[in-house]
Structure 1
């Protein structure tokens, strides 16, 4: 598929896909005319990257994880980074849950004053 189709199906911009390619996170084949061509599984790969970015991982973190994403195996350094990122995300989830509870309290306390 071409870059526009991948961008649409994965919910990102073509610019983001070119950035992923520059960072070594995504590989495209090229047509004789130089157009990028992607594989079907690149849709899921880009969606995974988006989840990682949304969770606060950087391009370098994602690049560090590529071998284990592809092979299903991790080394000690990758496992340490995964644990660190998981702990950071868990802390953020706790903060968001607290904010959600506060909003619920505010909604509950003020819904009678409409």
Structure 2
């Protein structure tokens, strides 16, 4: 006797928006162009009906992470006739979106706001996150230059190397407002999350 099919779910506002918005990552100024529509079509082209264990294994996660994301409304899986969670292609894409944005430094609360088109304060949250990403990109570019110089530097002493001093001159003279504000923001997030932002 075959198991009953998962119940049909209505498409949420974020899902409808992602299906029709036609936005490419390149339009936000990113150098790496990602066709979000094509990625979504490719994922949905194959029938997907996964258990929580199968979905967790696909992304090398513990199942408790997916349960936690469900608790905070990042995921909303369907249930089969026995009450077991079933995940479709939309859920797979959503997990990938969560992971990609966590890797970029977003908190789970920020991600929840991003994928919920009706979330209050959504524009403000996303605008602030974009500004933070710009700051991080700037800091990472400087850090990359320092690492590249370290490979070539014969001094082997960052305290005496003029290149290293130049790279941190704004911190030495106290003129880097963006660095201090970013550090304060990160400390604020750490205090509120307690470093327990599940994978």
TM-score (norm 2): 0.44
Secondary structure, aligned partner of 1:57: coil
**Runs of 4+ in structure 1 displaced over 6 angstroms?**
none
Q: Determine the structure 1 residue equivalent to 2:95.
A: 46
8 Å contact kept, 1:55–1:89: no
8 Å contact kept, 1:10–1:43: no
8 Å contact kept, 1:52–1:62: yes
Deviation, structure 1 residue 20: 1.0
Secondary structure, aligned partner of 1:17: helix
Q: For 1:82 and 1:21, how far apart are their aligned partners in 2?
A: 23
CA deviations over 1:61-82 (Å, ceiling 9, x no partner): 00110135xx9xxx64244223
Note closer, same or farther for the CA distance 1:100–1:67 as it changes in structure 2 (3 Å cut). same
Deviation, structure 1 residue 6: 0.8
Residue 130 of structure 2, aligned match among 59, 80, 83: 83
Q: Determine the structure 2 residue equivalent to 1:37.
A: 86
Q: For 2:83 and 2:143, how far apart are their aligned partners in 1?
A: 45
Structure 2 unaligned residues grouped into runs of 5+: 1-49, 157-199
Q: Determine the structure 2 residue equivalent to 1:104.
A: 151
Deviation, structure 1 residue 44: 2.3
8 Å contact kept, 2:77–2:91: no
Q: Determine the structure 2 residue equivalent to 1:7.
A: 56
CA RMSD after TM alignment: 2.7
Larger fraction in helix: 1
CA deviations over 1:9-50 (Å, ceiling 9, x no partner): 223221111111111111111123221111123222212211
* Bigger Rg over Cα: 2
Q: For 1:92 and 1:16, how far apart are their aligned partners in 2?
A: 30
8 Å contact kept, 2:114–2:126: no
Q: How many residues align?
A: 103
